[in-house]
Amino acid sequence: MQTRNLGRNGPEVPVICLGGNVFGWTVSAPDSLRQLDRAVASGLTFIDTADVYSRWAPGHQGGESESILGEWFSKSGRRKDVILATKVGMEMGDGKKGLAAHYIATAVEDSLRRLRSDYIDLYQAHTDDSSTPLEEMLGAFDKLVKAGKVRYIGASNYTGARLAEAIETSRRNGLAEYVSLQPHYNLVARQKFESDLLPVVKKYQVGVIPYYSLAAGFLTGKYRRGEEAKSARAGTVKKHFNEQGYAVVDTLVDIAKSHSSTPARVALAWLRVQPGVTAPIASATSEKHLEDLVAAAELQLSRSDLERLNQVSAPVAA
């Protein structure tokens, strides 16, 4: 599988990242273990998760995805074959949240225990924490890097201004700096990334690993005009049920036919070549979905294909 550097200072990673949010949620633990076997054998060796996955599911408390990954690492012995990304900062209950130094120090140990690993390749701030000074937060991450518990650090859900401020803070203080950004970005959600974040990631050469790359399944073509959303992500996907959203899907379907491909592969192939993007994140709930992720890493769209998708998905002026 093709690889790229994750930003100027990051590791080399595959151009598609496997999302681990579904492990133990919409994909059972046994099926998750089997999926990991197939994914890594296929070259999908960049895997993203978070400590909070999947706390939102009934009966879950968070940490389920990390625990499944830890079980797989233990059984397979392939920890060193994977670039593992996880995140910290979201609400874990009992006041466990945020990016204060003392909490980061505790949360990383909990993640390492669940992952059955003595290091994390990419440790990400899951969301900004304006109540904690950047010097404190980045100082805590820097200690983890110096201790060898974390190789690189990244940010998620930051504004452009805050990302730039964090990087400048690291540089002024000689601290580890963010090598990556995980934003919400896809064919039906372009405005915020392209207007606010892209200039910053270009300036600082930060790698971008977008989440919701398939818009919670909308860009797979499974939802068409007049059809009701019934999946576990129905609440998220319904906001794309509008004329522009359906027009994007129609175009994806048409281009997919011309390549004997699928809309999901085309959507990921488009995102993969956008300025600043290193590797879109997408999860798989079936073997077919996993095949789409692997194939999307190799699919080459024509200039005409890209222009059509750019035009139909262009952000509408307010």
* DSSP characters over 11-60: -EEESSEEE-TTBTTTB-HHHHHHHHHHHHHTT--EEE--TTTTTTSTT-
Q: Is 96 helix (H, G, I), strand (E, B) or coil?
A: coil
Q: Taking the mean position of all CA atoms in its chain, how far away is CA 148?
A: 23
Residue 284 token pair:
């798989």
Secondary structure letter of residue 228 according to DSSP: P
d(CA 190, CA 168): 26
Q: Phi and psi at residue 91, in whole multiples of 5°? A: -60, 120
Place of tokens 């730039």: 164
SS3 content of the chain, % helix, strand, coil (to 5): 45, 15, 40
- Per the annotation, the verdict on 103 as an active-site residue is no
Q: Looking at 53, 103, 123, 212, which residue is catalytic?
A: 53
Residue 50 token pair:
């978070």
Give the type of residue at 175: L
Residue 75: CB atoms within 10 Å: 12
Angle between helices 287-296 and 263-272 (to 10 degrees): 40
Cis peptide before 195 (omega within 30 of 0): no
Q: Check: CB of residue 122 under 8 Å from CB of residue 84.
A: yes
Catalytic residue numbers, as ranges: 53
